[in-house]
Amino acid sequence: MPAVEEPVAGAPTAEPEPTVEAQQEDGQSAGKAGASVGNPLSGRSLYGPHVTAARAAAQLAGRGDAALLAHMASVPTAMWLGPHHGDVRAAVRQRVAEAWAAGAVPVFVSYNMLDLDCDGRLAGNPESPAAYAAWIGEVAAGIGAGEALVVLEPDTLAHLCGDQAQRFAMLQAAVGILEANPGTYTYLDAGHSNWMDASTMAGRLRAAGVDQADGFALNVANFQRTADNIGYGSAVSAALGGAHFVVDTSRNGNGPGNDWCNPSGRALGEPSTTATGHPLVDAFLWIKPPGESDGTCNGGPPAGQFWTGKALELARG
């Protein structure tokens, strides 16, 4: 999980006025996955300060490496939401207000699924479907009348365990709550190109309500190459009747290594953008903040802590 982000000094906190530009792109309203005919984010800028990279760059001020980290910090990066946010509505509202002031769309990751790994290890996560729905409601309330892109629950469908019917129902409800806001673009996490076959994932997405979302997300916090994810995503999309998707490109510049956890020799991928050059891909996104550790493996600090050495390795490629 990424580190907790601190508020940006002087940032507006009032709820932004509603915007309609993204709903008007390509002559359509915000299209859902079952009937998408265009990219609802076309022409839009993305927003997301990479706070920990900026802090590390400042600590290296005057050294050549500082520029590498400053560049990393300049790329819009997702804000992860979970139990570490005591008041998630306020945290989301502030980020949405900042993005609105910048004329851009913020990117969030909802990572708070009830017993994600079915082992009870994730402390602080909701203890019931009702509690989870209430928490998602707080996220939606924070977005309010503004705009936001939300990647919903990494690993929840790919790592399907426990009461599957309950998990599908929780995701369906979350999609419905988020999509009640016309300016929210929701993408259900769908693993990556090297996890499971496209047909199986398409079935899981369908059961989770992807037809009411804007699409699905691939490669979150992983390293699979963009081209491989586009190929896989296109196959999933075909099984879903043309659903769109987004791809995490934050650390896939050199493709996968020999380990999912802090592998060596990796590189930054394409910067966040809605101009992907592919009709089904709504955005390339830096969802996993590059430089933040995957966990205490391969010499890394605890998950979510910024690791300057690894960040520089990624930046040098």
pLDDT digits (tens, 9 = 90+) for 22-55: 332 333 333 466 445 699 999 999 999 999 999 9
Closest of 195, 203, 202, 205 to residue 175, by C-alpha: 205
Q: pLDDT tens, 262-283?
A: 999 999 999 999 999 999 999 9
Residue 36's pLDDT is what?
Answer: 52
Average pLDDT, the chain: 89
Q: What is the CATH number of the domain that holds 308?
A: 3.20.20.40
Q: Is residue 7 part of a domain?
A: no
238 dihedral zone (left: phi>0; alpha: psi -120 to 50; beta): alpha
Q: Is residue 8 part of a domain?
A: no
Query: Which tokens belong to 216?
Result: 């699905």
Q: pLDDT tens, 82-133?
A: 998 889 999 999 999 999 999 999 999 999 999 887 876 666 789 899 999 9
The span from the CA of 163 to the CA of 147, in Å, is 33
Closest of 119, 114, 98, 113 to residue 45, by C-alpha: 98
Expressed as residue numbers, the domain containing 31 is 21-316
Q: Is residue 32 part of a domain?
A: yes
Q: Is residue 4 part of a domain?
A: no
Let me know: does 277 contact 231? Beta carbons within 8 Å: no
Residue 11's pLDDT is what?
Answer: 36
Q: Is residue 248 part of a domain?
A: yes
Q: Average pLDDT in the 155-167 region?
A: 94
Q: Is residue 2 part of a domain?
A: no
Report CA 186 to chain centroid distance, whole Å: 10
8-17, 121-130, 146-155: least confident range: 8-17
Residue 28's pLDDT is what?
Answer: 35
- Positions annotated as catalytic residues are 117, 155, 294
* Count of domains forming the chain: 1
Q: pLDDT tens, 218-272?
A: 999 999 999 999 999 999 999 999 999 999 999 999 999 989 999 999 999 999 9
Residue 294's pLDDT is what?
Answer: 93
Q: Is residue 196 part of a domain?
A: yes
Q: Is residue 214 part of a domain?
A: yes
